[in-house]
Every structure is written in C-alpha cells, then in structure tokens.
Structure 1
Amino acid sequence: MHDVVIVGAGPVGLFLACELGLADSSVLVLEREPEPHSPWRTDPLGMRGLFATSVEAFRRRGLLEPLLTISGIHDVPGVDPDADEPSPPRGVGHFGGMVLDPAKVDLTALPFRLPSPAPESVMTNLDAVETVLSERAAKLGVEIRRGVTVDAITQDEESVTAHAGEHEYAARWLVGCDGGRSAVRGLAGFEFVGTEPLFTGYVMLATLADPEKLNPGINLTPTGMYIRMPAEGHIGMMDCDGGAFDRSREPTREHLQTVLRRVSGTDVTLRDVQLVSSFTDRAKQTTTYRRGRVLLAGDAAHIISPLGGQGLNTGLGDAVNLGWKLAATVRGHAPDGLLDTYTRERHPIGAWALDWTRAQTTAMRPDPHGQAVQGVLRDLLGTRDGTTYVFEKVSGASVRYDLGSEQPLVGRNAPDFRLEDGTRLGDLMQDGRGVVLDFSTDRRLRDSTTGWENRLRYAAGAAKNDLGVGAVLVRPDGVVAWAGEREPDCEAFERAVGRWFGSPEV
C-alpha cells in the first residue's frame, strides 16, 4: 500500500508528488494518457505563464534553473538580486483584454517585496514544466504509471482504493489532480457548483492568407476578442455565444473563419487549420476540497477560464499548500486539524480566481451593458492605483491567509530575506522543511527550535532588509506563520511552531 495515490500527471499532480516525495512519502501517480508529450503541451499551443508565487515555488525547491534552461531562457532581464530595491515588473498582463502598462505599478504600495533572483513571471510551456517535475519526481522515488483510467473509488476509515478495470491501487490517501473533467471528483461524490459560460473560446494553429489584417497581441473589439500570438498562425478567439459551440461539434475551417471575421471586424481568410481546440469561461468549484481520504487540487477542484492565466497558477498554489500538510499527516506528526486548513486556506483563493475571470468576461460582453462596464474599467485601469491593484492580484502579492494574527506579514508569501552572509530564504527551503530566520542579536530563538530539527531549519544573522521584524517562522509552503518583534517572544514563537509543526521529537 502506498501512502498517497495521485490521479493525474499534469503540473499540479507532479508538483504535489515531488512535495510528498521530498518528505519520504511513498507516492504513486496514475495518468490516463499513455504518452507524456503532445502538440498541445509544447510551444506554441502549450505556452503558459507562471506568475511570481509559482516562480518562487519552483525556485525554493531548486527547480527554477532547470525550468529556465529547458524553456530556452538563458537571461532574464530586469532581475538584480543584489539591488537595494526590487525591480519594477516587466509586464502586468491584461484585464478582460485591456492591456495594462507596467510602468504605472506603484512599487511603494507593495511593502513586502524584496529583490530576488526569481523573475516576476516566466513564459514556458506545459511540456517543459512536466519534464522538469517528472525528472525530479523520479529522483525522489515517485512511481508514475501511464495509460491508467480510474473508473471507481472506494474508501473506509483507514484507506482508499482507486480501481482501474481489473487493477486496484490502495493507499492511505488519494488526491485527484485529473483536470477540469475530473473522474475523481465525480467518483468520490464532490459537489460541484458555479456558473455557466458566456463565451466559446478557440485556440488554433492555422495558416492565414493575409495575416497583416490582424493586429498582433491582445485585441478587444466590440464583437469579442482575438489574440494574435508571436508564433506564426497561433490564434486565440473568444466569441460571446453563451458557450454554445464548445465541444458540441467539430469546428470546421469555415466556422472558425466566420468567428474570426466577426470578432476581428476584418475579412481575414483562413487557408487551413492544423490544430484547434475550444474552451469556455464556465466557472465552477467544489464546495470542499476533501471528502474522507480523498482530496482534490487544481482544475479537479475548480475550473477557471484561461482568461488571465489563473488556472495553472492557482493549481500549483494548491499543490504547494497541500503537499507538506499531507506529508506531515502521513508521517504522523501533524498537529490536530492541520489537513483541514488546506480547504480553509485554498478554497477562498479558488473562489476569488473564479470571480476574477467572471468580472473580465462580463466586461467583454458585446452589448451595451458590457460596453458601459468596459468604459468605466478602462478609466480605472489606466490609473496608477488601478494598474497596481491588478498587478497585486495576478502576481499573488495580495494573497494572505487568515492565520489569526494582526501582524501584517503573517499569512503572506514570505519575501526573499537575505542574510548578511548572502544566504537567501529561498536557498534554505530546498529540502522541504520549514525555516526560522532569526535576525535578533542574541539569537534567542535557537534553543526554542530544539526537537524540531527534522521539520525546521534554523538560520541566524542580520538581514539586508528585515522589514522591521526580529524573526520569522516560514512554513514549508513559503507562508509566514509567525513574525516577532526586534526582541522576539520565545513563548509566542513556540506556540506558533506547535500549531503548525506539532510536538517536538524526543
């Protein structure tokens, strides 16, 4: 029997497998597709953007450099980890097709950012992400079986079993990371609620007879939206038809040309279409992320429109949050209720991501109501405050879990503190343990970490910028669990450690 069976070998399932493997858990990953590679996972169709918190998660596990290398990124402009202040973002993206100017981001409104070797965002593709994670998972002893379709799930108080035809895969826990059409979600009886779509979207690789008729980049029009990607013939479209065409029938060249002409307002001609797929802005979420010994992460827990690139990043955030908690539960030293904090912390983030895309699709509607909303938003998003607001949201800088503390750092993704010897927080997190950074002159927290060495790493020294705190306790997922004053309260620190890491080892 394995400790954990993960269904789905996409980025979310593989990242979760790596987190569990890092903690010496026995992990089996089951994947329906027999082969890991396809044109939909490589450039250009498999292109995806990783935002700041996701990029930082890869860096904290020593995976960022391999990812940049395999993605063909050898130089990241604007990244200066030795600078006194963080660099301005190179891009903000768009909101409902309205592209924002990164020069308008107010850095003074982002008090918890510090210079980091990690860029604010990385453009890569699914194949690169999965290759890096698969290689790491294999090194950690994770087993991946492909061509396995799960068709039933049974569980009791002690274990859970995934059934695939005549085969059974038993484990103490099972996690569904099997995408928007998750089999695990339905088989385990999760309630899935939300809203129906306003549009049908298309992504295609096609040959255009007259590509000069389409403007490059993101183009929001009175009749929809189209995106002309940098790669020749890579086109995205969004047609506000109520999602009527999504996977209901095969999109022909004639249909795609009609839609492209309507949303672009041109008479552009499609010569031929090599690959095409459709999607919608359907927005749904399970009411809980756990039922008994079955948990969900990524698109299995929430389906989010590709608009704004929140789906992959939200799913990776789920994996980072769940991994260490499930590992501690498997190893038997999790404090009471630790696994329950997964739903409590991540469900609101998923709900926000759904609302974020709903707001964008509402503003894109090609009717007087949508156009009126769009006009107001253009004025607001064109301001410094408006651009900064969007950047905070899409980068993850505004995410803060409610951990019951008024200290403003607690509950946030930890800044990349740098000690006087040059060591950075991200350098200390590669083994998956929590980290105590003690900036105090008397190193008063050192004795308080005795007994937790297998779960906590202690590091002391003055910081180049300590943001006004004397010490921080950082969970394995990079979230600040406690922050102390210039002379930290050891008793308060020990209570925080006990809350998140259980009892000390004797």
Structure 2
Amino acid sequence: MTGIDGVVIVGAGPVGLFLAAELRLADVDVTVLERRTERPPITKGVAMHARTLELLAMRGLAGIFLHSGVRLPGWHFGFLERRVDFTGLDSPYPFVLSFPQDRTEAILEDRALALGARIVRGVQAVGLEQTDDDSVRVITPDADFGAAWVVGADGAASTVRRLAGIDFPGTEATFYSYLGDVVADAPPPPGFNVVNDRGAMMVAPMPGGLHRIAGYDPERQQAGRGALTMDELRETAARISGADFGLRDPKWMTQFDSATRVAATYRSGRVLLAGDAAHMHFPAGGVGLNLGLQDAMNLGWKLAAVSQGRAAESLLDTYEAERRPWAEDVARHTMAQTALITATTAEGLALRKLLSDLMGTLPEMNRTLARRLSAIDVAYPPPNAGTGAHPLTGTRVPAADMPDGRPTTAEPTPGTTAIVRPDGYVWWATDDPSPDLNAARAALGVAF
C-alpha cells in the first residue's frame, strides 16, 4: 500500500460531491463511492443560507441556484410567530434561498465530474484498513479502493465513522416530527407557521410548485411508525392549523426525530469525517446542508495541500478545531428550537409569545439570530490571537473571486491588505502600506 495517493470519499451527497470538486481544483485524484445506484429524487434540505451562497459565488456557482430558487426574506426560529429577518444582513444575499436538495446534488455532481472526479455507484463500504503510515484502504464486497486519505461523507448513520471507531455522543430522540413535500391547491400566505395546544406546523414554498409541510403532532409520536400517509397529513394540517390547504400528490413524505450528536473527533489517522457523518441534529432553521457544505469548503483546500505535500499534516488539525465548535453551536441552537416547537402547553405557549415579542422589540436579538442561522458570524480566530495576529485574521470575506480555489489578496478595510484563504476567510492581514506579500505567503506554512 505504500506510495498510494489521492482521496477516496464515501458518500455522493452534496457534501461528498462538493468536497470532490474542491479537491479536483488542486488536481488531487478523487474517487467517490456511493452505495445508491442513482441519486434519490427527494429533497431533504431546501434552505440555502447567505454564507453558503457567498462560498458558492467564490467558485462561480451561485448563479445557477439564484436563477431558479425562491428567495425568502425571513425564516422561522422554533416556529415563533415573529420571523427572523435576513434583509439587513451585510451580505450580497440577504435572504434564505429555497432550493431542492436533489437539484443541488445534480449540480454538484456535474461539477465534480467536469473537474475529473470519479464517481462509483452501487458500492457499499464494509471495511476500512489503515495498514501503514501513508495509506488507507476502503473494502467493498467486490473491490478494494486504496488512497492516501479517506473522507466519510456518508450521512448520520456513517459506515466510515463506525469502521474508524469514532464515537458519536449526544442526546437520544425525545420526539418525532413529520414532513411532506406536496402540492397545495389552497396554500396559506408565505411565511405561515402555527403552534398551539394541538401541535406545530410550518408551510414553506418550494420551486416546482410544491410546498413543504412539517411540524410536530403530539398525537402521532410512536417510534418507528413511519411517514404519515397523505390522508393523515391532511387530517394533521386541518386539526393543527384549521385548514388542509388542499394537499395532494406527495413527492416525498417522511418522519424524523430530534436525536442530536457531534462526532468525538473529526479525524482518526488518515480518515476524516464531513457533513452529517460528523454531526446530526433536528433540521430546525434549515442549516444542516449549509453546515456540511461549509465543512467541505474548509477541508478541501487543507486536504489538498497536505495530500500534495504542500503543507504539514498538522494543517488538518485545524479542520476539526475550526469546524467542530460550530457544529456544537448548531446542535445547541437546534435543540433550543425543538424545545420551542414542542412547547404546546399553556406555559410553553406563554414562553413562545414572550420570545416572539422580544424579537420584535429588540432588533439586536433578531439580527443576532439572523447572523447565526445564516453562518455570517462564523469566524476562525487563530489560537494565538492575543500574540500579535491581526484582528481580521480568521474573519469572513463576503465576496472574493476564487473560481480555481487559489488564495487571493483583498482589502477588507481601507488601509488593510489581506491574504484570503481558499474558503473565504482572512488568512493573514497587515496595515503596512507596503507589505511583503511573498514573505507573508512563505510564513503561512502552505506552499501556494
């Protein structure tokens, strides 16, 4: 196995495909293994937040999403009556974009293939062997795939995580939620959601004339009961909201629970985790897909540099150090939202009204939630921030043109020159009017 190079990614969902494309920008050999023979025609994630759109724009990809997505100026937090307002975000994309995940996967698969990634479908990983210091082998029933690195992007039930012996601590499910992507002949106004003593429901428009109906029904909390039938969804909608909205022709219906977990580590030897393989949570706020794509953007350039010998392996340690705290933050936020969504008692409804009113009377509270949900406030301050690093180091750059994934220079504020990392964060900055950029690049520890 000595001398094997390249990366094997297990999982051809959005995270695995985006990571494959990022690695191919640096000409890293990439093979993506996927147990499904075809892309599933379902739409798990529909919300694309501002920071994700900024990252896609850096690679010249945002336009295809913006062209046919539905722009929503507000989004719910725990189904509160007062919406989180995104229109004031300091971003070129001050909204939530509703865009179906199956189309996201198609776009990212086309990109990965165009850049030269190899995608092998109908292949199930059953074993994982790290036999020496510079290679790892993914074992399948019909063939083995050797590489210098393996990334598990194979979802919350990740086989790679289990085979690598990485713990997945967290909380067990406390309730079950329903979801249906359906046609609604008489839909409510945009932004509709309701929580009362009969349950909780939200209705969100989707491209293609569908609506997503989701929420909490205290009368249907049996574990393992499966998705609601169409008749059950209409009955649930009528009981909770007072109308069945003319629901019909479901494209996808499912049940999901509130289990919340974050991997104990994002790396074990030459195996790394990304996306839902590294974290799972209730889909409140529509942040899951975004969290995973941001993992891929953070890991891609680092793994490329290490696999090509342009950086020491210690660079990979920064992937977990930077991304895991934000996964834990999302876990806390989504758990808080589940408490609000299921607050159907008189006391719970009183708490909901108090918080909703505060969001209206305290603009800063609303802005804080908008920045958190959109990931605009994500930053990666260096560990030595107090020992001379420029204050801008690790902060987000809203717009940077990096279609080939190479670092670039920018002026985030007047009088400041910065080198921007391939994932759109300030890597190095100075207020020196005549900086020595070559010396700065050399000091970063990654060969350009």
Please classify the TM superposition score into its range, dividing by the shorter chain length: 0.7 to 0.9
Question: Is 1:398 aligned to 2:374, yes or no?
Answer: no
Question: Is 1:91 aligned to 2:73, yes or no?
Answer: yes
> Does the 8 Å CA contact 1:96/1:360 hold for their aligned counterparts?
yes
For 1:107-506, what aligned pairs fall within 5 Å after superposition? 113=90, 116=92, 120-156=95-131, 157-206=133-182, 211=186, 217-222=191-196, 223-230=198-205, 234-239=211-216, 241=218, 244-245=221-222, 247-249=224-226, 251-253=228-230, 255-264=232-241, 275-335=252-312, 337-364=314-341, 365-382=343-360, 383-403=362-382, 404-405=384-385, 407-416=390-399, 426-427=400-401, 429-437=402-410, 466-487=412-433, 490=436, 494=439, 497-502=442-447
> Does the 8 Å CA contact 2:15/2:293 hold for their aligned counterparts?
yes
**Structure 2 residue ranges without an equivalent (≥5):** none
Equivalent-residue separation in structure 2 for 1:317 and 1:344 (angstroms): 14
SS at match of 1:226: strand
SS at match of 2:8: strand
Equivalent-residue separation in structure 2 for 1:381 and 1:408 (angstroms): 30
Are residues 147 and 99 of structure 1, via their aligned partners in 2, closer, same or farther at CA, if it must alter by over 3 Å? farther
Equivalent-residue separation in structure 2 for 1:308 and 1:401 (angstroms): 22
Offset of residue 372 of structure 1: 3.8
Equivalent-residue separation in structure 1 for 2:217 and 2:199 (angstroms): 6
> Does the 8 Å CA contact 1:18/1:136 hold for their aligned counterparts?
yes
Equivalent-residue separation in structure 2 for 1:104 and 1:32 (angstroms): 38
Aligned CA RMSD, in angstroms, stands at 3.0
SS at match of 1:98: coil
1:279-323 residue CA offsets vs partner (Å, 9 max, x unmatched): 122211101111111111001110122210110000001000000
Are residues 106 and 19 of structure 1, via their aligned partners in 2, closer, same or farther at CA, if it must alter by over 3 Å? closer
**Structure 1 residue ranges without an equivalent (≥5):** 77-89, 108-112, 417-425, 440-465
> Does the 8 Å CA contact 2:81/2:194 hold for their aligned counterparts?
no
Instruction: Please give the TM-score of this superposition, normalised by the length of structure 1.
Output: 0.77
For 1:49-64, what aligned pairs fall within 5 Å after superposition? 49-64=47-62
Q: What is the one-letter code of the residue matched to 1:193?
A: P
Q: What is the one-letter code of the residue matched to 2:31?
A: L
Q: What is the one-letter code of the residue matched to 1:478?
A: G
Q: What is the one-letter code of the residue matched to 1:35?
A: E
Are residues 499 and 235 of structure 1, via their aligned partners in 2, closer, same or farther at CA, if it must alter by over 3 Å? closer
Report the more deviating stretch, 158-167 or 296-305. 158-167
SS at match of 1:204: strand
Equivalent-residue separation in structure 1 for 2:52 and 2:335 (angstroms): 22
Are residues 469 and 372 of structure 1, via their aligned partners in 2, closer, same or farther at CA, if it must alter by over 3 Å? farther
Are residues 269 and 166 of structure 1, via their aligned partners in 2, closer, same or farther at CA, if it must alter by over 3 Å? same
Equivalent-residue separation in structure 1 for 2:413 and 2:312 (angstroms): 30
SS at match of 1:338: helix
> Does the 8 Å CA contact 1:2/1:28 hold for their aligned counterparts?
no
Equivalent-residue separation in structure 2 for 1:479 and 1:205 (angstroms): 36
SS at match of 2:314: coil
Q: What is the one-letter code of the residue matched to 1:230?
A: P
Identity, % of aligned pairs?
37
Report the more deviating stretch, 397-406 or 170-179. 397-406
Report the more deviating stretch, 29-38 or 220-229. 220-229
Higher relative contact order (CA 8 A, sep 6+): 2
Q: What is the one-letter code of the residue matched to 2:408?
A: V
Report the more deviating stretch, 234-243 or 399-408. 234-243
1:15-71 residue CA offsets vs partner (Å, 9 max, x unmatched): 100010011100000111111251x14xxxx561211111111111122223445x3
Are residues 286 and 137 of structure 1, via their aligned partners in 2, closer, same or farther at CA, if it must alter by over 3 Å? same
